A and B are shown apart, each in its own frame.
Chain A
Amino acid sequence: MVMRNTTHRWGAVAQLLHWLIVVLIIVQVTLAALAGDLPLGMKKLAMLARHKSVGLTILGLAMVRLGWRQLNPTPALPQTLKPYERTLARFTHAMLYVLLFAMPLSGWMMSSARGFPVSWFGFFQLPDLVPKSQPLYHALVTTHQSLAVLLGAVVTLHVAAALKHHYVLRDDVLQRMLPLSTTTQGTRR
């Protein structure tokens, strides 16, 4: 397994970052859904604390990922794609990156606006991004929730496209992001 990307395949580091973030986003959605139904109590505090810590982790990983992307070749899209498909693919990927930053940042701002400072797993406390403000807090709750819905939509598109590449177009777009796959380039007929 190669650490770095090639023009045909994602390397181990990019794959690890991709799948780690996938798992953490699933954790985030679960924690948010569970905490949302609870009254203010120890359980809710614990879940939201974890939600914030995991969110900050995703923010950190997103920065590493973007940096790693700059230092590595990006595997090319298959030649068979139509121009609008290329545009859509670029747009979807750009949106995913934007949301990997926007989700945690809006959540962090939300906590600051409410006056609940954020800590990373209790190891250190982060500065408040915005001053405490009730109207701002409500606006940020709406923002954070809307971005979550948008992320859900973009992820759905992303997964649908990956499955289409794998099962319909039968190319290696999905496989080159899978760790144990041996396909190195082109189609897999």
Chain B
Amino acid sequence: MRPAGHALLTAILLATAAGAASAPAVTHYVLDAPKSSLEFTFQQAGAQNKGKFTRFAVSFDFSPDNLAASRLDVTVEIGSLDTGDQERDDTLHGADLFAVAKFPQAHFAASQFNKTAGGYEAIGKLTIRGVTRDTRVPFTFRTADEHGVAVGYMSGKTTVRRLDFGVGQGEWKATDQVGNEVGVSFALRLTPTATAH
């Protein structure tokens, strides 16, 4: 091998090694539940209705500069759903809709992240009512210095088709009174705990 080629190869190897070594550590975030929200909107009888989940857990390992090592894990207690109407909530808990007794939690786990024009995109698996589907969730993320702590703010919204997950059996399969598309939006306050690696 000619010296010039050898030098080039060395340079590439060194650069790669340096790149790997300097890959920024991801930060581990946990949810500040009282200051976070997970809401949904749905069409009922032609009108837009709202609801929210009051209990959910988030584990987020993230660095904008190291998306490869970033991880998101969200667990939602379906029983905590609140549409502002007890009768409706009870109906949603029932076997034909969320079947909370059998499937108490929904879960989203993502290990692939992309930078997008407006922010980021988490690509992972969403499980609701025992059905798992590949799902992309766009989000924005920023940190704010609060008393010397770099607090993370994550927000976004996506659309979930309830029938893809079997949320709607029997008569609830019809979409004329209750729409198939459910808008899900989240605004999370995330506090850093430790540097993962």
Contact = CB atoms under 8 A, between A and B. Distances in A.
B176 A118 contact: no
A122 B179 CA distance: 11
B68 interface: no
Contact of B171 (A43, A52, A119, A121): A43
Contacts of A117: 47-49
B93 to A, nearest CB: 12
Interface string B138-180: 0000000000000000000000000000000001101011100
A115 B172 CA distance: 20
Contacts of B48: 117, 125
B44 A116 contact: yes
A49 B84 contact: no
Contacts of A125: 46-48
Contacts of A126: 47
Contacts of A49: 45-46, 177
A121 B46 contact: yes
A121 B45 CA distance: 8
Contacts of B172: 42
Nearest to B45: A49
B85 A116 contact: yes
Interface in B25-49: 44-49
Interface string B174-196: 10111000000000000000000
Contact of A52 (B45, B84, B174, B176): B45
Given A118-B47, A119-B45, A122-B46, A45 B85 contact: no
Nearest to A117: B47
Number of chain B interface residues as a range: 10 to 19
Contacts of A123: 46
B91 interface: yes
Nearest to B88: A40
Residue from A45, A46, A52, A125 whose CB has the most chain B CB atoms within 10 Å: A45
A62 B176 CA distance: 29
A41 B170 CA distance: 10
B83 interface: yes
A132 B51 CA distance: 13
Nearest to A128: B47
A48 interface: yes
A116 B45 contact: yes
Contacts of A45: 44-45, 177-178
Q: Ordered nearest first, which 3 A-B pairs have the shortest CB separation?
A: A122-B46, A119-B46, A49-B45
9 contacts: A40-B87, A40-B91, A42-B171, A45-B44, A46-B177, A49-B177, A115-B49, A117-B49, A132-B84
Given A40-B87, A49-B46, A125-B48, 17 more contacts: A40-B91, A41-B171, A42-B177, A43-B171, A49-B177, A52-B45, A114-B85, A115-B49, A115-B84, A116-B44, A116-B47, A116-B85, A117-B47, A119-B45, A119-B47, A123-B46, A132-B84
